[in-house]
């Protein structure tokens, strides 16, 4: 199997979103139309069974490949574990039509969330140390409680069986 590309940049649309960007680690295969998009990862432990099957990243890459006209492209994660006995594992991830429909709907809902400024801070993630919005996250609750002045309800928690769909 040969290396077709390394460290490429993808850009594509989801039909209504102006542009989505992604960085390609590697593209391996006998030809461009029968290649594997390869994403390299490191992990402190072995990946659990099924992780690659539910990850959104392969769906994004394979949708971009579809839009570029590369119908035969496949995807796999190559994971190097940082365990006592290091290992390199391959985790293929297949996607089909309904996966891409779900990706499009997720993007549509997220556009509504962004347009309505419905954000919440993500505290304690590995990204926080270098995030340009770290200060805004720390100050988030103060701005909101001052502007809405709604205290937490008292009387204990109650379960609401209602569901809200966007």
138-157 pLDDT, tens per residue? 777 666 555 555 555 555 55
Per-residue pLDDT of the chain (166 residues; tens, 9 = 90+): 677 776 777 777 666 555 667 777 887 777 666 788 899 999 999 999 999 999 999 998 898 888 888 878 889 999 999 999 999 999 999 999 899 999 888 888 888 887 887 877 777 777 777 888 778 777 776 665 555 555 555 555 554 555 544 4
Burial 122-159 (b: 16+ CB within 10 A, else e): eeeeeeeeeeeeeeebeeeeeeeeeeeeeeeeeeeeee
Residue ranges per domain, the chain? 2-116, 120-147
Q: Does domain 2-116 have CATH number 3.90.320.10?
A: yes
3-state SS assignment for residue 141: helix
The per-residue DSSP string of 39-101 comes to EEEEESSPPPTTHHHH-HHHHHHHHHHHHTT-TT-EEEEEEEE-SSS-EEEEEE----HHHHH
Torsion angles phi and psi, residue 132, rounded to 5: -70, -10
d(CA 25, CA 37): 8
Torsion angles phi and psi, residue 80, rounded to 5: -100, 120
For residues 43 and 80, the answer to whether their CB atoms sit within 8 Å is: yes
Q: What pLDDT shows up at residue 121?
A: 76
């Amino acid at each position: 199997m040969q290396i077709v590309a390394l460290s490429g940049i993808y850009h594509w649309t989801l039909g209504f979103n102006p542009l989505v960007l992604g960085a390609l680690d590697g593209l391996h295969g006998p030809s461009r139309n029968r290649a594997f998009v390869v994403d390299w990862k490191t992990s402190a432990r072995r990946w659990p069974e099924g992780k690659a099957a539910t990850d959104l990243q392969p769906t994004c890459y394979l949708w971009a490949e579809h839009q570029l006209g590369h119908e035969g492209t496949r995807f796999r994660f190559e994971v190097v574990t940082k365990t006592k006995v290091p290992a390199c594992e391959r985790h293929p991830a297949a996607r089909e039509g309904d996966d891409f429909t779900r990706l499009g709907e997720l993007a549509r809902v997220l556009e509504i969330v962004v347009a309505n400024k419905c954000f919440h801070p993500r505290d304690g993630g590995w990204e926080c140390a270098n995030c340009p919005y770290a200060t805004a996250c720390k100050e988030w609750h103060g701005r909101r409680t001052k502007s809405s002045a709604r205290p937490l309800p008292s009387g204990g928690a109650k379960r609401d069986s209602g569901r809200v769909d966007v």
